[in-house]
Structure 1
Amino acid sequence: MILLLFLAIFFEALSNKEEVVSDTTSFSIKLNDSILFKRFESINQIYKEKKFDLALKSAFILLDSSKNSSSEIFFRTNYLIGNIFYETSSFKDGIKYFRSNINNVLNDSIFLDVNVKYLKNKILLQNYLRLGSSYHKLNERDSLKIYKDSTLYYYKKIIDFNDLDDSFVNTKAKTYSNLSALYINDKAYDLAKEFAKKAIEINKLNNNKVNEAGALGNLASIYSIEEDYHLAKKLYLEGLELIDNDKSPKAIRFKASLYANLAWVMYNLKDYKAYEYQEFSYDIKDELRNNEFKGIVRRINAEYDVNTAKKLVLKEAENKQLKNQRTFWLFGIGSFIVIVTLLYGLNYYKLRQKNLRLQLTQTQLVQNQNLEKIKSESQVRILNATIDGKESERKQIAETLHDSVSALLSSANLHLQASRGLFKGETPVEINKTQKIIMEASQTIRDLSHTLVSSVLLKFGLKYAIKDMADKYSNSQIKIDTRIGEVVRYEQNFEIKVYNIIQEFINNILKHSKAEKAMIKLDESGGLLYLRISDDGIGFDKNKIINKDGLGLNQIDARIQMMEGEFHIDSSKKNGTVIKVVLPILEKEPINLV
């Protein structure tokens, strides 16, 4: 099975401002205009306080003021605006300003002097890294070739710098980590290893233990994917040792991911200390989730405020133009009102009659729709109750087999084993046969219990149960891959429902699609669980088959509706199938300790 928890570490370089963004005050250009400089410092302080709406509005005004009077302030402000858009996930808007900064630096005469070569390289590297990270984020969202090509282009710009001094080496290390993540997603593991090792080497030379631990985790995750679990375990432990006493937020996030990865590796090595490491990971992640939730709220508010501020600035410019044309528009609107009033008077009677007929038709339509809605909801509730009953019964049977029957058989086997000592000489063949029968019965019961409800699901949760499902169903005819983000343990019945939905879709792929490859993607964002299942099979005409029970789509749709989720299928003949499901998360209830 393939472990994908490395994403939490790889994209630390993309999600953490310290990894990919240098402080906007890092420019060291000598300023001649002290007034503009003070205005910029004031705006930059507002940005640092994450008041993005106020910072953006003031930055737009300063950008316009400094365009023809101060190149230094213009570069700084341009970069600051791009940072605001990046921090609020408006990557496409930010890209415009980072590109503009690069073009200005390459063409401005101030940078022709060899004495400012260091400064020129520093500005270019900052903007190249920002551009590469922005396209990397967009590629993770939409997986378009143009995003990937742009990501590689700007990362290569950084790697090609040969005259970097020590202050620029960290930028290369971040770039290597980002490239390692990119190639792992593309399954180019040799390239991913190469860049991960380069990042480790740089961080070790600079004594940057936190980033070195992250890079070691990256490399270990690659070996885990390749099922070299012993080497992966060694690297994970090295990374944890480096940051054992580090209490910084970044180190804590790395520890959570390293412990989770280590638990999975040790589970595959049949070392059941894995459960202990898994609990370490959950404890850290539970603590981080509260902080991350607050961060999400702040980011959403910031995005809203940034868009509002941008619209406000544009609105002010628009108002200036409208003010010059007010007289013309007032005359035009007045004439239009007079014409409309005349037309309304002439057609009033006809429109009234038509409206009466339309209202009657609409009333009948609404009544019919309400009846259909009530009928549909009743059918969905009945079907959902049936499915809930089946799931509950399967769980109860599995628990009874595992906790009761299996325990009884184990006890009987122990008694038989003890009875061997009562015989002097050779043990009767009947006892040997009886023990063999009991062991076969125990194995059969364990297999049946796992078939009814996945034991991996109950012990480790959705992430590992889905990987186990993909590994079990993959064969010489079809390869099922998984790409699972940072998901945690949820309420158990919710996990069982999601697992059964995924299993039903995979069964349909195996039975009907004739596919050679399939992909299961699962991720959590904003309190929602995003599921995407795709295959390269023969596809189907969804208009003809959506109402048939053969694929179980009605039952799946009913289940998703009752979970207040969304369900969408995109398929056509010979073009494969893509299934998207969005579900509101039902969190695992915390344990109250007395």
Structure 2
Amino acid sequence: MVKKYEEINELYKSKNYTKSLENALKLFEEIENTNENKRVKFLIASVIGNIFKETNNHDKSLKFYLKSYNLYENNLINVESGLNSINDLYIEYVNLLLRLGSSYQVLKNNDSAIYYYNKIENIQSLNNRIESIKALTYSNLSGIYLRDSLYERAKIYALKAVEIRKLNKNKISEAASLSNLASISLKQNKFEEAKEIYSKALNLIENDTTSLAVKYKESLYYNLAWTLFLLKDYMAYDFQEKSYLIKDNLRDQEMRRIVEDVYANYQVELVKNQVALKKAEERKTNYYLGALMLLILVVFGVIIYNYKLRQKNLKLNFEQNELAQQSQIERLKSETQIRILNATLDGKESERKEIAETLHDSVSTLLSSASLHLQASKNKFNGSTPLEIEKSQTIITEASQKIRDLSHTLVSSVLLKFGLKYSINEMGQKYSNSQIEIETSTKNINRYHQNFEIKVNNIIQEFVNNILKHSKATYALVQVEEKNKQLFIHIEDNGCGFDKDGVVKKDGLGINQIEARIQMMKGTFQIDSIKNQGTKIRICLPIIEKEEAILL
């Protein structure tokens, strides 16, 4: 039994999940109802839970983790020959408590997660492996309390995690824990404190070029850039560019690895397919004539049967087919119009995004570099600077500003970098003036899939443009709130109102396009407008969001 377990564990470590799961379930079924091999049952149940976790089947993963936990709690620690020492088994038990807590955390059952995390916290041990598990536990507890806005408790556990990482002299893990601590300060609007902690984390791994350290640096640069942006520090963009450069490099490495894996798998599959093709050709030669004759007889019989049947029902089928075709044509026309319209909008959004990113990331960078070179040239003159250099630098500065403005007009850089919440608030501030006040309100707005954010921003932008152009309003309100995995958008103004049917027929305000867009996003759309009494617009869209990362 011990040997079988070790073989299964090796398959799991080599990421052969299908084979390891098949063998593990078979072994567990053999020994589940026996009073022997208790330690093997404990370990094999834990491995099965690990395999289900790796395949994102968290419900089944939790089921087997609980089986393993119950086996250990029921006086499992009876030394049996051929397995690891009791200390190693105890460490595996502590690891199991961490997996139980993280599984409940993934399933949003935070009370149960905290229960198992507290068990780990109460363990008294100076063992470095157990201390590392405690550090991960404290980080996860900090994440739970941070999500519940219990900032002081979150900070306590984050500091505990940092202290353990520092004692273990693991700079990468210490940097990760410091990043969590800085995020708490950021949530409390303690921007200077967050800046100091992010910088400290970066200093720890600044010269580390390992893949894990590079990955953490990318995240730390981005978070520091955001903190500096909130502090209105111009260096925010320098750190943000560092983050983007690292992200692009990581993406290139990942693509090369994927291509190499795909090519290797292609070579293996090619050999298999050639062997299978040869065997198939041999079988086809043996059965070809018989299958062909049978096919001819079947086809001939079907033709005769269908001919007689069609003669009897020709008129009825003709009428039914005509009606069905007409209905289908109408449906296809409607669907085609909607798809063409949305494809056009998607194409425009994609082109605008690509042009904006190219202008900002490439052309703007080149102009900035040219300006720096001119400045360096100016510094080399002892006396006055030639007028041509001064004019050139002025022209480059003006061109750079115009490119930034054009990039922002195509796709909001605030939207791409910091999300929907800040883009909407910026929209209200940008368009408010002495003629009209545009108030914005955002509640529980997070970062979502980028294409989803762009589409939502464009829908809101279209309605705001219509208010500015046609409503003659002096006040407008834009409210956006996330609730129950849905985004609720409410837009209203105190303007002159309009005849909805008349506008839809004219297609003058783009309402048809917006309605088609919302329909493709599986949302709902309602307009209430009365002449000289303003307009109210309600939109509900299902959210497309990123998966939350859990430390394990």
**TM bucket normalised to smaller:** 0.5 to 0.7
Aligned to 1:122: 91
Aligned: 1:369 with 2:328: yes
> Are the structure 2 counterparts of residues 39 and 202 from structure 1 closer, same or farther at C-alpha, using a change threshold of 3 Å?
same
Aligned: 1:42 with 2:11: no
Aligned to 2:239: 277
1:555 to 505, 513, 519: 513
Aligned to 2:66: 99
Q: Distance in 2 between matches of 1:232 and 1:85?
A: 37
Q: Distance in 2 between matches of 1:185 and 1:149?
A: 13
Q: Report the alpha carbon displacement of residue 556 of structure 1 after superposing the two structures with TM.
A: 3.0
1:133 to 88, 98, 102: 102
Higher relative contact order (CA 8 A, sep 6+): 1
**Equivalent residues of 2:424, 2:457 under 8 A apart:** no
Q: Secondary structure at the match of 1:518?
A: strand
Summarize the alignment of residues 254-265 of structure 1 with structure 2, pairs less than 5 Å apart.
Answer: 254-265=216-227
Q: Secondary structure at the match of 1:224?
A: helix
Q: Report the alpha carbon displacement of residue 516 of structure 1 after superposing the two structures with TM.
A: 7.9
Aligned: 1:207 with 2:169: yes
Q: Distance in 1 between matches of 2:351 and 2:20?
A: 54
Summarize the alignment of residues 247-258 of structure 1 with structure 2, pairs less than 5 Å apart.
Answer: 247-258=209-220
Q: Distance in 2 between matches of 1:297 and 1:154?
A: 41
Structure 2: state its 5+ residue gaps.
262-307, 364-400, 430-437, 467-472, 493-499, 527-537, 547-552
Aligned to 1:8: none
**Equivalent residues of 1:63, 1:74 under 8 A apart:** yes
Aligned: 1:519 with 2:482: yes
**Equivalent residues of 1:534, 1:578 under 8 A apart:** yes
Q: Secondary structure at the match of 2:445?
A: strand
> Are the structure 2 counterparts of residues 536 and 130 from structure 1 closer, same or farther at C-alpha, using a change threshold of 3 Å?
farther
Q: Distance in 2 between matches of 1:211 and 1:546?
A: 61
Q: Report the alpha carbon displacement of residue 58 of structure 1 after superposing the two structures with TM.
A: 1.0
**Equivalent residues of 1:259, 1:278 under 8 A apart:** yes
Summarize the alignment of residues 11-30 of structure 1 with structure 2, pairs less than 5 Å apart.
Answer: none
Aligned: 1:167 with 2:157: no
> Are the structure 2 counterparts of residues 520 and 221 from structure 1 closer, same or farther at C-alpha, using a change threshold of 3 Å?
farther
Q: Report the alpha carbon displacement of residue 276 of structure 1 after superposing the two structures with TM.
A: 2.4
Aligned to 2:422: 468
> Are the structure 2 counterparts of residues 178 and 354 from structure 1 closer, same or farther at C-alpha, using a change threshold of 3 Å?
farther
**Equivalent residues of 2:136, 2:161 under 8 A apart:** yes
Aligned: 1:63 with 2:28: yes
Summarize the alignment of residues 325-336 of structure 1 with structure 2, pairs less than 5 Å apart.
Answer: none
> Are the structure 2 counterparts of residues 74 and 129 from structure 1 closer, same or farther at C-alpha, using a change threshold of 3 Å?
same
Deviations 1:21-42 (A, max 9, x none): xxxxxxxxxxxxxxx2222222
Aligned to 1:78: 45
Q: Report the alpha carbon displacement of residue 162 of structure 1 after superposing the two structures with TM.
A: 4.2
Q: Distance in 2 between matches of 1:218 and 1:353?
A: 77
How many correspondences in the alignment?
418
Aligned: 1:501 with 2:459: yes
> Are the structure 2 counterparts of residues 255 and 387 from structure 1 closer, same or farther at C-alpha, using a change threshold of 3 Å?
closer
Q: Report the alpha carbon displacement of residue 567 of structure 1 after superposing the two structures with TM.
A: 2.8
> Are the structure 2 counterparts of residues 189 and 471 from structure 1 closer, same or farther at C-alpha, using a change threshold of 3 Å?
farther
Q: Report the alpha carbon displacement of residue 281 of structure 1 after superposing the two structures with TM.
A: 1.0
**Equivalent residues of 2:341, 2:513 under 8 A apart:** no
> Are the structure 2 counterparts of residues 123 and 198 from structure 1 closer, same or farther at C-alpha, using a change threshold of 3 Å?
same
2:337 to 378, 382, 400: 378
Q: Distance in 1 between matches of 2:174 and 2:224?
A: 17
Q: Report the alpha carbon displacement of residue 390 of structure 1 after superposing the two structures with TM.
A: 11
**Equivalent residues of 1:557, 1:567 under 8 A apart:** no
CA RMSD of aligned residues (A): 5.3
Residue identity opposite 1:209 in structure 2: K
Tell me which moved more, 550-559 or 290-299.
Answer: 290-299
1:234 to 178, 196, 199: 196
**Equivalent residues of 2:415, 2:423 under 8 A apart:** no
Q: Distance in 1 between matches of 2:69 and 2:479?
A: 45
Aligned: 1:246 with 2:201: no
Structure 1: state its 5+ residue gaps.
1-35, 140-146, 300-348, 404-445, 522-530, 539-544, 585-594
> Are the structure 2 counterparts of residues 161 and 553 from structure 1 closer, same or farther at C-alpha, using a change threshold of 3 Å?
farther
Q: Distance in 1 between matches of 2:22 and 2:339?
A: 50
Aligned to 2:433: none
Summarize the alignment of residues 412-423 of structure 1 with structure 2, pairs less than 5 Å apart.
Answer: none
> Are the structure 2 counterparts of residues 500 and 518 from structure 1 closer, same or farther at C-alpha, using a change threshold of 3 Å?
same
Summarize the alignment of residues 583-594 of structure 1 with structure 2, pairs less than 5 Å apart.
Answer: none
> Are the structure 2 counterparts of residues 581 and 485 from structure 1 closer, same or farther at C-alpha, using a change threshold of 3 Å?
closer
> Are the structure 2 counterparts of residues 499 and 196 from structure 1 closer, same or farther at C-alpha, using a change threshold of 3 Å?
same
**Equivalent residues of 1:105, 1:111 under 8 A apart:** no
Residue identity opposite 1:89 in structure 2: N
**Equivalent residues of 2:515, 2:525 under 8 A apart:** no
Aligned to 1:341: none
**Equivalent residues of 2:414, 2:423 under 8 A apart:** no
**Aligned sequence identity (%):** 32
Q: Distance in 2 between matches of 1:96 and 1:134?
A: 10
Q: Report the alpha carbon displacement of residue 238 of structure 1 after superposing the two structures with TM.
A: 0.8
